[in-house]
Structure 1
Amino acid sequence: MERELALMILSDYERNQTFLNIALNHAFQVQKKDFSKELVTALVYGTIQHRLMLEYQLEPSVKGKRIKLFERMVLLMSMYEHLYMNMPDYAIVNEAVRIVKKKRGRQAASFVNAILRNSFEHKRSLDDLKKEERLSIETSHPLWMVKMFIKQYGFKTCEKILHANNEVPLKSARVNTLKISREALLEKDHRFIASSHSEDCVFYQGGTIAESEAFKNGWVTIQDESSQLVGRFLSPDKGSRVLDMCCAPGSKTTHLSAIMDNTGSIDAYDLYAHKIHLVEDNAKRLGVTNLTTHVGDSTDIHCFEGEYDYILLDGPCSGLGVLARKPEIRYHDSNAMDEIILLQKKLLENAYTLCKNKGIIVYSTCTLNKKENEKQVEAFIKAHPDMHILEERTVLPYELHSDGFYMCRLRKD
């Protein structure tokens, strides 16, 4: 049951190039039979996460053959089970053959059977590859990304980043202090444990956070620990006027409300109405009352020039810090970063215009690409010498077992 569902999701992802979490959530909503969400999620995410290694191992057996989409997904998922799930080879092959025979017929099943048996028997070595190529295949990150991280961080740090991207993310949540203290939450539900890094962060040792009473009651919201650091980095005073330029889905926005204890005002913008609805739903569940949402382009806000005490620009980015949660991002076209960098620059320019004198801007991203982070800020300050860095921090994925994040706190003098 679980393997058939996982293959349906993988095929849907491959066909439509959607995000994995969207494909998973849709499949889980329409599926009526009982099944293990944990196993389906592990199969889907693991197959995409380790795709380059899986393709490398299958290549000698499939070279020159035309393979249809469903059979290709079966081969990749079966190879993932073989390499990473410690399952008996005969069980993997038998299940793959059964599913393909049911879906595609006897001939396709025979083809998959032959490919898998041959691939499992002849494991391909990485020893002849160059150092960078080996790291690329071993961790399933494209070679351009490996080279970029080596250039920006050095080989040893790059290696640690890539391996951290293949670890299972923690179930992180932020305590909503508008409704409960962290101490009170830990007393009420012992499945939550406190983080030693962020004062608002807890880790859940139960099932799904969104199905917990704590989530339904608005005591917690799902948010990675690195992401939680951004709100404290801005640290707006109570009663201040705040702008969140790219607010969806609202986790950082509502954190600012909690820090301000629902005082002052927050204007929150996003380009799309359906994303604004997510922010509003989140705010309602958490008891946020000082928030006004707007559908609009934050590169083109001019009605409040020089009026904001604090501005959060959690900018659109390449997402190279969240590869553990969104493994499909690693296979995106690297050329898209050029457009993103230009958009970030436009947003920063407008943040400068909207920020009052002596005001604070925090620019943050969930990428580790320094061209989008340090270099972007460097160019911004060069264009605006009255902007000064107060603090700058990069959180690498292996440091807190969290997403990779960059944040920079600037003051306009």
Structure 2
Amino acid sequence: MEQKIAYEVLLAYFKDGSYLNITLNKALKADMDRHMKNRITRIVYGTLQNALLLEFHLKKFVKKVKVSEKTILLMGLYEHFFMKRPDYAIVDELVTLARQEKGARTASFINAVLRHAFLEEINFEGLSEDEVLALRTSHPLWLVKMFKKQYGQDVTIQILEADNAIPLRSGRVNTLVISRDELIKEDPRFKRGFLSEDGVLFEGGNIASTDAFKEGKVTVQDESSQLVARLLSPEKGSEVLDMCGAPGSKTTHLAALMENTGHIDVYDLYAHKEQLIQSNLKRLHVTNVTTHTADSTKLAKMLQKQYDAILLDGPCSGLGVLARKPEIKYHDSSVMDEIIPIQANLLENAYYLLKNGGKMVYSTCTLNKKENEKQIERFICHHEDMERIEEHTILPYQYHSDGFYMCLMRKK
């Protein structure tokens, strides 16, 4: 049962590039016990997190393989090398799965390949230091070299290893409704977070299935992400703009910090994402936000007003959230080249929409300095009346959180 569900989720990804988290969430039924959900999740994410390493080992035993067969084989190799289950149990379960899905011939093939592959250790002989690091942590070589250039060898190794760790179940207390101490007292499965004063860690499965979530007392949000709204720290009664708001985590945090006073305009490019923001506003009892569907790269021409504070949580390459979204590391590096000009355009719009004396935060969930520090350097170079007040990069291994960049600026 568990193997079959994990197989179906991974196969959908390998065949069609489906969104892994969405497919997995649909597959995890409400009536499943927590142990089963955890094991399926671990097989799915662990197999994909380590896919380059597992494929490297697999190529020694089979040159050409169908995607359905490859999916089963990678699952088996992951369980062998990382879950340390008895080999006979892994082979027996996956051969049974192969027989059910593809027939006796495929089952025989899976049996032979796994038994041979389990007998040998992974051999990196003849590879360079960077190639070994890339394979051992299943990151593309270009990404390893980029991180080494930007952060150095030691920090890069810690980043890559953190990307393959199991992420914490993090949430943010909705202070419009309850304090963190009150929530923890109500439900002891919540514990104080490591990083954010609004952050909690959950030890009971899925936060979204709790009564506290349904009642709007808590929402799912990584702790490093929670630092962004607090860095902007909008005044009560102020006019605030959130330029790229979906799904509304930071928007609703801004509203909580403002205690539902003042007004927040939040924009997103897609109508279905605006609906998602509206759903979160309702659940979290937020009343000072107006949602809009529009292209924020054109906002300066569309709007006739300026704001006291602006949050620009920009689109990015996502290289800080690889533990939660391992499929991102297999994207082509050209994604960054396409997104950097969009970020610059959004920053220009933010500049013209910000009042003199106003403050803004630019943030991303990537660790690529070209999208972060370098982007801000260029922006301030073009606008000498913008001053950098605070700048932070949270690396994923520091607090077992997502990697995040954020910069607070003020318009003189």
Normalising by the residue count of structure 1, what TM-score does the alignment of the two structures yield? 0.97
CA distance in structure 1 between the partners assigned to 2:330 and 2:114 by the alignment: 24
Report the equivalent of 1:210: 208
User: What is the one-letter code of the residue matched to 1:15?
Assistant: K
User: What is the one-letter code of the residue matched to 1:358?
Assistant: G
User: What is the one-letter code of the residue matched to 1:22?
Assistant: I
Gaps of 5+ in 2: none
Moved over 4 A (4+): 31-35
After TM superposition, give the deviation of residue 197 of structure 1 in Å.
2.5
Q: Deviations over 1:272-318 (max 9, x none)?
A: 11111111111101100000000000011134356100000000000
CA distance in structure 2 between the partners assigned to 1:27 and 1:198 by the alignment: 32
Q: Deviations over 1:319-354 (max 9, x none)?
A: 000000000000001111111001101100000011
**For 1:161-310, what aligned pairs fall within 5 Å after superposition?**
161-301=159-299, 302-305=301-304, 307-310=306-309
**In the alignment, structure 1 residue 4 sits paired with structure 2 residue 22:** no
Report the equivalent of 2:310: 311
Which secondary structure does the structure 1 equivalent of 2:60 belong to? helix
CA distance in structure 2 between the partners assigned to 1:346 and 1:291 by the alignment: 24
CA distance in structure 2 between the partners assigned to 1:106 and 1:292 by the alignment: 59
Count of residues in Structure 1 that have an aligned counterpart in Structure 2: 410
After TM superposition, give the deviation of residue 56 of structure 1 in Å.
1.4
CA distance in structure 2 between the partners assigned to 1:187 and 1:394 by the alignment: 32
Report the equivalent of 1:41: 41
After TM superposition, give the deviation of residue 128 of structure 1 in Å.
3.7
Normalising by the residue count of structure 2, what TM-score does the alignment of the two structures yield? 0.97
CA distance in structure 2 between the partners assigned to 1:300 and 1:119 by the alignment: 55
User: What is the one-letter code of the residue matched to 1:381?
Assistant: I
The percent identity for this pair of structures is 58
Q: From 71, 74, 77, give the equivalent of 1:73.
A: 71
CA 1:45/1:196 → structure 2, altered by over 3 Å: closer, same or farther? closer
Q: Deviations over 1:175-217 (max 9, x none)?
A: 0000001111111111111124311001111121011111111
CA distance in structure 2 between the partners assigned to 1:109 and 1:123 by the alignment: 23
Which stretch shows the higher mean deviation, 99-108 or 170-179? 99-108
Which secondary structure does the structure 2 equivalent of 1:173 belong to? strand
Report the equivalent of 1:328: 327
- 1:306 touches 1:357 (CA, 8 Å); kept in 2? no
Q: Deviations over 1:254-276 (max 9, x none)?
A: 00000000000000000011111
CA distance in structure 1 between the partners assigned to 2:78 and 2:208 by the alignment: 28
After TM superposition, give the deviation of residue 126 of structure 1 in Å.
2.5
Q: Deviations over 1:115-169 (max 9, x none)?
A: 1111111222235421111110111111000000000000000000000111111
CA 1:215/1:137 → structure 2, altered by over 3 Å: closer, same or farther? same
Report the equivalent of 1:140: 138
- 1:305 touches 1:355 (CA, 8 Å); kept in 2? no
Q: CA RMSD in A?
A: 1.3
After TM superposition, give the deviation of residue 32 of structure 1 in Å.
7.8
User: What is the one-letter code of the residue matched to 2:166?
Assistant: V
Report the equivalent of 1:18: 18
CA distance in structure 1 between the partners assigned to 2:191 and 2:38 by the alignment: 21
CA distance in structure 1 between the partners assigned to 2:116 and 2:378 by the alignment: 54
Report the equivalent of 2:57: 57
After TM superposition, give the deviation of residue 33 of structure 1 in Å.
7.3
- 2:194 touches 2:399 (CA, 8 Å); kept in 1? no
Gaps of 5+ in 1: none
User: What is the one-letter code of the residue matched to 2:251?
Assistant: T
CA distance in structure 1 between the partners assigned to 2:33 and 2:147 by the alignment: 43
CA distance in structure 2 between the partners assigned to 1:62 and 1:156 by the alignment: 35
User: What is the one-letter code of the residue matched to 2:94?
Assistant: A
Which stretch shows the higher mean deviation, 74-83 or 13-22? 13-22
